Amino acid sequence: MKQSSIIVELTPLLDVILIILFLILVQSAGRVDIVYAETREAFEIALEAYKAEFGDEVDHLRQANVEFDALRLGLEEDTDIIIINISSNPINRDMRTILLESTGTVVEIPLTWDGLARDEASRTLNTALAEQIRTTNSAVTFVVFQFDSDGVFAADHQLIRLAIHNQRLHNPQVFFAEMDIR
C-alpha cells in the first residue's frame, strides 16, 4: 500500500473560522447593547407609570408618618387620648355600642339601625366627644378610633369618622388615628 503524500494546510482555514467567530461575537455584543438599552427604557417608563399611579398613596403614607411623629412627640408633652371603640352584641349584631373612653370617663352610646336611634346616637357621640375634648385642658388631644373591620358596619364606621371630623374642624389641637384591631 502506498501512502498518499498530500499535506493539507489547516492554518488558513482556522484563521477564517476564527475571524467569522470574532465577527459573530462583535455582532452579538451590539445586539446585547441594544437589548440592554431597550430594557432600560422600558423599565424607566414602567417606573414613571408606577410613580404616577401610586404617588398619591405615597403622599398619604408620608402624611400618616407625619401624624404618627406628632402623636409620638405629643405623648411626651401635655396631651390627652380619647379612645372610641365600637362593639356589637354577639347575640344580636343589630345592637351595637359605641364606647368613648377618656381619662377616668367612659360613655356608652347604644346604636341600632332605627333612623331616630341613629340620629340620637350621632348627636350623643358629637356632644360627648366635644365635652371630652373641652374638658381635657391639654395642648394636644389624640382621638384614636379602634375597630374590627370584620365586625363593624360601613355606616357605623362612617358615623364615627364624621363625628371625629366635625370635632377636628372646630378644634385644631385634635389629631386622629384609626386602628383596625382585626
CA nearest neighbour of 97 among 71, 125, 126, 119: 125
- 135-146 pLDDT, tens digit per residue, is 877 777 888 888
pTM for the predicted model, two decimal places: 0.53
Rounded Cα gap, residues 107 and 123, in angstroms: 13
pLDDT tens-place string over residues 151-165: 778 888 788 888 888
Class of domain 78-180: alpha beta
Instruction: Rounding to the nearest 10 degrees, give the CA dihedral for residues 46, 51, 52, 53.
Output: 90
How many H helices and E strands in the chain? 3, 5
pLDDT digits (tens, 9 = 90+) for 83-93: 888 887 778 77
Q: Where are the domains of the chain?
A: 1-76, 78-180
Using CA atoms, how far apart are residues 85 and 98, in angstroms rounded to an integer?
6
Taking each helix axis as running N to C, give the angle between helix 115-135 and helix 154-170, from 0 to 180 degrees, rounded to the nearest 10: 40
